[in-house]
Structure 1
């Protein structure tokens, strides 16, 4: 019997290793798998590379992971916000590496990994410092930059509901990066508000099929 459910976040994250590349879903706090991130801090893995849209807010979620000095490098689009002082301090002290990726490129590079593509050409970044050292081409009258897929060992995502096969449905904008990250990681761990019986999820509403999910854990966090 296929059963991907875990009894706790600690069980779900038990195999995360030092040096892992981890995708973390969310757009700001919307869709951020906060309980999985908290459990990752408790789990103790270090020297991590985090792929996410943001670099954390305040001192919770990703910011707490950064503050615990568990992250070696972050790949993201928006590292600096009004309350991103944890990242700012680490970066200015030379204690964390940053790879800045425009948001559209971040999504496309993650999608490319999930689709099994070798690389993509994108116009975003051409003629800027972000294109320095990268191959460029003139295609159809436009200039493009060669970008490579972003893969991960693990993806931590948040959904509204899931079943024991790993099928997931999302709530509104909490859907953001979760579906594409699930396809780009070797092991996807989904935090959900509720695990339902097989057949209870409308197939037309399932966004992430269970084939892309390896572990599902129900938490007490309200879906947002």
Structure 2
């Protein structure tokens, strides 16, 4: 039996959740609250970095969101794969997974981390630099998505699982409304049942997000 240790607000937890829901793979969700010492100790016992998500598959412990999705494709294949079997076709999926994680998600997190610091330790230069990086990433994504059909790398895949949290949280901080292809892509993402389910489950935690006022009303009601 599969068990996923996660937090419903955590961006990197959304990636395997979308994959699990999209493929209809059965699993047991196990939310982790790091404010509870017993939960923190449990997570550390599963993955010493104390980072979620972690998938427990029998005796096998699988950390890191992209690796979890790869593990599911390898060991619990469904009718819909998140990474193509063909190695060449898999490359753009992995590329755009990395793109959304490294150039949008991680950059957005720099702004969040700055907002969580005491006011006297905040650094406007860090925020400005992060927003400039987001603008560059948005422009690249806009050009790419303008030439695509519906999804980031062909069929719905790992890349789109990564895009949902990256665009959701980044858009609440530094909107991409001026990019019509990105906006249309995001609308397709949030309308997909697996993605909508992840968002619905995260909704009770949105007040914990420091930029919660930037979350569109359609996701908060």
Please give the TM-score of this superposition, normalised by the length of structure 1.
Answer: 0.29
Larger strand proportion, structure 1 or 2? Answer: 1
Please give the TM-score of this superposition, normalised by the length of structure 2.
Answer: 0.29
Larger helix proportion, structure 1 or 2? Answer: 2
